[in-house]
Amino acid sequence: DKTQRPDYLSGLNPEQREAVETLEGPVLVLAGAGTGKTRVLTTRIAHILSTGRAYPSQILAVTFTNKAAREMKERIGVLVGHAVEGMPWLGTFHSIGVKLLRRHAELVGLRSDFTILDTDDVVRLIKQLIQAEGLDDKRWPAKQFAGMIDTWKNKGLDPAQIPEGDARAFANGKGRELYVAYQNRLLTLNACDFGDLLLHPIRMFRANPDVLKDYHDKFRYILVDEYQDTNTAQYMWLRLLAQRPQGAREKHPSPPPPHKGEGQERVAASRSPSNLVEERLSAPQASPSPLWGGVGEGKSREEKPRVNICCVGDDDQSIYGWRGAEVDNILRFEKDFPGAKVIKLERNYRSTEHILGAAAHLIAHNEGRLGKTLFTDRSHPDDEKVHVHAAWDSEEEARAVGEEIEQLQRRKHNLNDIAILVRASFQMREFEDRFVTLGLNYRVIGGPRFYERLEIRDAMAYFRLVCQPADDLAFERIVNTPKRGLGDTTVRNLHDYARARDIPMLAAATEIIETDELKPKARKALFDVVTDFRRWQTLLETTPHTELAEQILDESGYTAMWQADKSAEAPGRLENLKELIRSMEAFESMRGFLEHVALVMDAEQNENMDAVSIMTLHSAKGLEFDTIFLPGWEEGLFPHQRALDEGGRAGLEEERRLAYVGITRAKRRCHIWFVSNRRIHGLWQTTMPSRFLDELPIDHVEVAEQDVSYGGYNRGGYGQSRFDKADPFENTYQTPGWKRAQQHRTEATRDNWGTRSGHAVERIGYGESGPRTRTIEGE
């Protein structure tokens, strides 16, 4: 029926429309890249709002990044025709988790002003715990244990539930104890880590059915984007909120409690993942740790009407397996939500036929896919094929990409429509350097970024401690930065004093300066620190926060420390500190800012300038650009060696999905690059073209004729220059360029060309700027 459709519906194809208009019951949209899944979600929300089915606050919508959440909100406003007030529950799993937790912190033993620790804090904390256990922290690295905890948390496992084998594998069998100690320590610090942002709400809901019921009543609609990348904890969280399908509870009237012991472990191992989730959702805590001791078992849930949940995803774009994402979640949807409507979308609205063809051909090399048809309506006779270029090294690559971008600029393309997607973040620097030289605006999105820089972290520690006096990690970070003569011994004394009395270190400092436990010099220094913080804390409520922040950095001597520093980085660090203060302006309070920094995954840069985006492939998910550059398609880098070593075939397939994600970000143009020499960790390595290049279809790809000034890579048509190789680590490239490069290398190194890491150290002169030393990683 075509009667009076609202505008926002008329642009949709029939399948999309069905997904938008099926508001009752569970819906899964399973479809390839660029088919409008996100658009369906956005339109669905607009539809719910404009038909008055729910208030903005009754919609729970999960996106993968904060940026995606902001964009979705904007677009909903456009569709509805006016700015959307509220939508407080539109965000990432983490940001929604924080919100829930701030509301109900006391139910899990926290106060509502709890701190969110980042990875660095977590590692420091674990290191202390390991040392406190009298264990050697070199033999049992904190970082490794932090990784284990993260993995457990991604799977939704509390200490009592971790596999016996895991518990035994670390710290002479003390893995479980350490995990418990870690959780307790977090509570003492009034802090939580990222995993807790999901797990605490899960615990809370399980233990407080009345609270869960409030949210059941509240959330009329649940929507999830990028569903293929949810991990088990997220999935448990969603299912709790989405409620279980009717009748499911009877399946496990009294699930066996998690139990220590080998026999149990074997049983657990043979259970399907689905049963495990089931069990974790309903199992009582058998052996409560101190942490969970006070939290009672959730009572049997009342049956509720089915929830209106809509998830969209693409199994071919599952790229977070290494972080615990379970693509199975998408495959199980119909089972978990009986009667679900599964909708497929096949029309791609984003890319040209060449781009789509290249991506489809590549991903077809994966096994175990659901398989999808994709066709595009965006084709034009003038469409460019996917370009493949070669360069001598990464500097050359950055230079050539820069030139290409300048050309696009001359042809009146916006920089905003251009993105460079790298496999590993270290690849970014070369482009950044080059763009600075060229005066090309760029922004870095995601990845190691501004807030992770040393000086920023120090400054943030000051701010954290002012807002949150129990933040011992912040205290330890800055108590002797700048140097105040508060050495390790003083800090250890302070630490012991605090632990003995179970008080935060700043409070301990306040007390200890009244005693004669410290040497006069240390006592004086500590007295100054305590006085400073006291003053800043009182100013917190009265002084504008940016002003206060500046004052803190000045009065603490932190700014002066860098001013006195004569190293090459010091000026940059001072600039960064200035930039930090500037970035606080957008927030109402220091606390608000701290929370933002803890959460934000996108690099905050001037959003309004016309700039090339640089980001990792992982953070490019869901985005689209007219022109995409994909540098670094070399064996070892892409596919990444670590993924191959640790993941085997599955690892390779995940890398291939990443390549698929990369290519399908492009609307009109896609340029792929590989280099023959790359510096990794400061050492030059010889590299080979990625096997993924071989997997691109001839029809849709064009190998650049003449890319680089070194001229080693003139290629004929694609026919002769296919990167044929039977074994990727055998040196059997057929391209003239590669032959030439090979010759060059053989002359230079005389042997071992083409082995995986190279075994020679050589000095050769090349390049415009005179001879350079090139080291090829030795054994």
**Binder of Mg ion out of 97, 622, 631, 632 (CB under 5 A):** 622
Strands in 308-313's sheet, in edge-to-edge order, are 90-91, 59-62, 221-224, 308-313, 27-31, 341-345
Rounded Cα distance between 116 and 176, Å, is 22
Residue 775 interacts, among ligand ATP, Mg ion, none and using kind-specific CB cut-offs from 5 to 8 Å, with none
Which residues sit opposite 773 in a β-bridge? Answer: 763
25 annotated as a binding-site residue: no
Which residue number, 16 or 352, has a Cβ lying nearer to ligand ATP?
16
Structure tokens at 352: 């040209």
| 38 scored as a contact of Mg ion (CB under 5 A) | yes
35 annotated as a binding-site residue: yes
Rounded Cα distance between 692 and 686, Å, is 18
| 13 scored as a contact of ligand ATP (CB under 6 A) | yes
Residue 523, H or E segment: helix 520-539
Q: Give me the phi and psi of 760, to 5 degrees please.
A: -125, 150
Close Cβ partners of 217 (under 8 Å, ≥ 6 residues apart): none
| Beta strand ranges found along 131-208 (DSSP E) | 191-192
Task: Please confirm whether the linkage preceding 482 is cis (ω < 30° from 0).
Answer: yes
Whether 170 contacts 164, CB under 8 Å? no
| 375 scored as a contact of ligand ATP (CB under 6 A) | no
Q: 654 catalytic, yes or no?
A: no
105 annotated as a binding-site residue: no
| 33 scored as a contact of ligand ATP (CB under 6 A) | yes
**Binder of ligand ATP out of 6, 9, 11, 273 (CB under 6 A):** 11
Structure tokens at 59: 């919609």
Which residue number, 98 or 343, has a Cβ lying nearer to ligand ATP?
343
- x/- mask, ligand ATP, residues 591-630, rule CB under 6 A, reads -------------------------------x-x------
Q: 218 catalytic, yes or no?
A: no
**Binder of ligand ATP out of 8, 28, 30, 35 (CB under 6 A):** 35
Q: 602 catalytic, yes or no?
A: no
DSSP labels for 185-206?
HHHHTTEE-HHHHHHHHHHHHH
- x/- mask, ligand ATP, residues 700-729, rule CB under 6 A, reads ------------------------------
357 annotated as a binding-site residue: no
Which residue number, 33 or 178, has a Cβ lying nearer to ligand ATP?
33
Which residue number, 72 or 408, has a Cβ lying nearer to Mg ion?
72
Residue 324 interacts, among ligand ATP, Mg ion, none and using kind-specific CB cut-offs from 5 to 8 Å, with none
Residue 11 interacts, among ligand ATP, Mg ion, none and using kind-specific CB cut-offs from 5 to 8 Å, with ligand ATP
Structure tokens at 455: 């000086």
**Binder of ligand ATP out of 20, 39, 402, 687 (CB under 6 A):** 39
Size of the site for ligand ATP (CB under 6 A): 19
The residue from 16, 38, 63, 183 that is catalytic is: 38
38 annotated as a binding-site residue: yes
Rounded Cα distance between 33 and 418, Å, is 18
**Binder of ligand ATP out of 8, 15, 26, 37 (CB under 6 A):** 37
7-15, 105-113, 131-139, 573-581 -> range binding ligand ATP (CB under 6 A) = 7-15
| 662 scored as a contact of ligand ATP (CB under 6 A) | no
Angle, helix 454-467 to helix 590-599, in steps of 10 degrees: 130
Q: 687 catalytic, yes or no?
A: no
DSSP labels for 268-321?
HHHS-HHHHHHHHHH---SS--HHHHTSPPPPPPPP-PPPEEEEEE-GGG---G
The residue from 17, 37, 350, 523 that is catalytic is: 37
Q: 225 catalytic, yes or no?
A: yes
Close Cβ partners of 55 (under 8 Å, ≥ 6 residues apart): 86
Rounded Cα distance between 120 and 691, Å, is 35
- x/- mask, ligand ATP, residues 303-342, rule CB under 6 A, reads -----------x--x-------------------------
34-42, 232-240, 573-581, 696-704 -> range binding ligand ATP (CB under 6 A) = 34-42
10 Å Cβ neighbour count for 483?
Answer: 10
Task: Give the up-direction half-sphere exposure of residue 124: CA atoms within 13 A in the CB hemisphere.
Answer: 12
Biggest CA–CA distance in the chain, Å, is 86
Q: 317 catalytic, yes or no?
A: yes
Which residue ranges make up the site for Mg ion (CB under 5 A)? 37-38, 622
* Residue positions forming the annotated binding site for ATP: 31-38
Active site residues: 37-38, 225-226, 317, 665
Contact residues: ligand ATP, CB under 6 A: 11-13, 16, 31, 33-39, 314, 317, 349-350, 622, 624, 664
